[in-house]
């Protein structure tokens, strides 16, 4: 009887998916029924080279984050998700850890919102997935690695965001994000990630260190739903930004929309087209560790 290993399992799951199922554009000359390696790699946020090595059995110890990303991109069932973790030699995440799984119901919601910029973050505000319109609007996230996925790090110590904020709005945002991270640490005491994030960001940002040491919960005003996005190609866009929090999982689903028929809707459509063209252009792949 054939023994199922990680590479063979990923290969089979990739080939049973259709491009239409995961929202990948289908060209007239497409000759494969399943997903191409390039398509799965982009959906999972890993390099094609790494996926090739994994399927060929030359990469046998992917991190839990990579395994979770593959399970999400491959649309695995709960049973299959448990299997891929075990094949990778990883413990299946339990209830004591911060959820990073996007459930089938939330995935269906994301599919229906596919024409809008959408991103999903976990309870620590670490990016789990972003669709092509989001990457086109806010900057390509597929090249991010490690802590670069975390929103707190990006605001306190990293490059920030294309969203334009006043000083007061930025202070409210920073207080709210720090409060959310502290809540995640309190809710999941067995998960070391919130504490690790806090220590890393505090080393690079005195502002964060002061907020974290203060230990306050529930600071910051309501998040502005109307945002100005400064796009490098199409200029400023005034968009509605709604963030939905999934009860029980603490996932944050962020959706950007424009008033139909408005100039901002036209600029958003242009930004998505330009960004998709740029991301589809050939580029050097970055190998994953």
Calpha distance 234→239 (Å, rounded): 13
Residue 22 and residue 43 in contact, taking contact as beta carbons nearer than 8 Å: yes
- Assess whether 40 and 123 both reside in one domain: no
Q: Is the pLDDT of residue 220 over 70?
A: no
Of 26, 52, 87, the domain-final residue: 87
- Assess whether 274 and 131 both reside in one domain: yes
Domain assignment present for 287: no
CB contact burial 253-282 (16+ within 10 A = b; e otherwise): bbbbbbeeeeebeebbebbbeebeeeeeee
- Please report, rounded to a whole number, the percentage of residues in the chain having pLDDT higher than 90: 62
Task: Enter the tokens of residue 156.
Answer: 């306190």
Q: Please report, for residues 23, 273, 276, the alpha-carbon distance to residue 131 in angstroms, rounded to integers and kept in the order given.
A: 9, 13, 10
Domain assignment present for 129: yes
Among the listed residues 50, 56, 25, the one whose alpha carbon sits nearest the alpha carbon of residue 39:
25
Q: Is the pLDDT of residue 221 over 60?
A: no
Domain residues for the domain of 65 are 6-87
Mean per-residue pLDDT, 121-145: 93
- Assess whether 199 and 228 both reside in one domain: yes
Q: Would you state the pLDDT for residue 239?
A: 97
Among the listed residues 262, 243, 261, the one whose alpha carbon sits nearest the alpha carbon of residue 252:
243
Counting the structural domains of the chain, the total is: 2
Q: What is the pTM of this model?
A: 0.80
Distance of CA 267 to the CA centre of its chain: 24
Q: Would you state the pLDDT for residue 178?
A: 95
Domain assignment present for 1: no
Calpha distance 116→122 (Å, rounded): 20
- Assess whether 81 and 125 both reside in one domain: no
Q: Would you state the pLDDT for residue 64?
A: 87
Of 62, 87, 112, the domain-final residue: 87
Q: Would you state the pLDDT for residue 257?
A: 96
Of 87, 118, 142, the domain-final residue: 87
Q: Is the pLDDT of residue 151 over 90?
A: yes
240/282: higher pLDDT? 240
Calpha distance 147→149 (Å, rounded): 5
Q: Would you state the pLDDT for residue 25?
A: 66
Residue 111 and residue 246 in contact, taking contact as beta carbons nearer than 8 Å: no
* Confidence class for position 286, pLDDT limits 50, 70, 90: very low
Domain assignment present for 51: yes
Mean per-residue pLDDT, 199-208: 96
């Amino acid at each position: 009887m054939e023994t199922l290993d990680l590479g063979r399992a990923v290969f089979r799951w990739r080939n049973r998916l259709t491009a239409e199922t995961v929202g990948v554009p289908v060209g007239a000359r497409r000759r494969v029924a399943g997903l191409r390696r390039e398509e799965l790699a982009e959906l999972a946020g890993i390099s094609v080279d790494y996926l090739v090595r994994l399927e060929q059995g030359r990469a046998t110890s992917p991190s839990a984050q990579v395994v979770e990303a593959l399970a999400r991109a491959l649309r695995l069932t709960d049973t299959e998700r448990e299997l891929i973790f075990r094949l990778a030699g990883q413990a299946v995440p339990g209830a004591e850890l911060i959820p990073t799984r996007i459930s089938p119901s939330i995935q269906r919601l994301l599919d229906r919102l596919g024409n809008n910029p959408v991103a999903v973050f976990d309870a620590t505000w670490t990016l789990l997935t972003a669709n092509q319109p989001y990457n086109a609007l806010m900057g390509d996230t597929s090249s991010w690695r490690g802590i670069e996925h975390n929103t707190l790090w990006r605001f306190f110590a990293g490059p920030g965001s294309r969203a334009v904020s006043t000083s007061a709005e930025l202070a409210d945002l920073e207080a709210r994000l720090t409060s959310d991270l502290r809540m995640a640490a309190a809710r999941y005491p067995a998960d070391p990630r919130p504490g690790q994030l806090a220590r890393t960001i505090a080393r690079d940002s005195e502002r964060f260190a002061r907020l974290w040491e203060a230990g306050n919960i529930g600071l910051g005003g309501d998040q502005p739903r109307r945002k100005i996005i400064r796009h490098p190609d199409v200029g400023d866009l005034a968009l509605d930004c709604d963030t939905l929090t999934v009860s029980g999982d603490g996932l944050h689903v962020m959706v950007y929309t424009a008033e139909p028929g408005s100039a901002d809707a036209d600029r958003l459509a242009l930004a998505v087209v330009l960004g998709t063209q740029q991301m589809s252009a050939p580029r050097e792949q970055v190998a994953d560790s």
